[in-house]
Amino acid sequence: MTDPTIEIPAPDQPILTVRDLDASYGPVQILFGLDLDIHQGEIVALLGTNGAGKSTLFKCVTGLLPPTRGSVQFAGQELRGLNTDEIAARGVVMMPGGKSVFPTLSVRENLRLACWLKRKDKAAVEEAETRVLELFPRLAERLDQMAGNLSGGEQQMLAVGQALIPDPQLLMIDELSLGLAPTIVGQLIDVVHRIHETGITIVVVEQSINVALELAERALFMEKGEFRFTGSTKELLERPD
């Protein structure tokens, strides 16, 4: 459950602030002095080639990878040095890319596992699960099916649903559309917009600039661990480089 002591900033004020962020895997440096502001209420697309550092940035924000230098602040509070569960309790949640569900567990069991922050409050668990199933009625029809037997699009819906259960204020989605059919991508875009309308700030890693155009008004483009562009998605589309 989100920490009630966190004061969410007013609209258009920074909710996430990253400064001078470096990150490495062993001796290999991946991120180089990143500065980033994500404002309350925004939906931002993060684009870049494979290996640009997009997922590494997400891991640094959520505590999965300790930065080697710099600051990560959420709603004015420093996140660096906190455990991932403490960061999630403050309202920062990441949906990881790739296969992020437990394939040998049912849909119901996957959702129940995502309730770990609410596990001591039965009513909160039931409310969160109901909210997710209303958003994804297809999952409600498949509650007792193994997650591994779902289609790729249904598994992605389940992954998004799991990420919503902790009541995030900042939702970071890694690879929303990867490997999915255009019709499924369109459905997921609609869902992300509906989530955004509830007041959740969203950052989405995307490979497709066309999907980014449908998702967000602002885009960031990363290359070799640095931001090469920040601005409107339409302006990015017009950049020949």
What pLDDT is attached to residue 5? 58
* Regions of the chain short of the pLDDT cut 70: 1-6, 10, 12, 241
What pLDDT is attached to residue 1? 54
Give tens-digit pLDDT for 103-138.
999 999 999 999 988 888 888 888 989 999 999 999
Beta-carbon-side half-sphere exposure of residue 58 (alpha carbons within 13 Å): 23
What pLDDT is attached to residue 3? 61
What pLDDT is attached to residue 2? 55
What pLDDT is attached to residue 120? 83
* Structural contact between residues 161 and 140, judged by C-beta atoms closer than 8 angstroms: no
DSSP 117: G
* Structural contact between residues 163 and 173, judged by C-beta atoms closer than 8 angstroms: yes
Kindly give the residue spans of alpha helices, DSSP state H, lying in 76-143: 84-89, 107-113, 122-135, 137-140
What pLDDT is attached to residue 234? 80
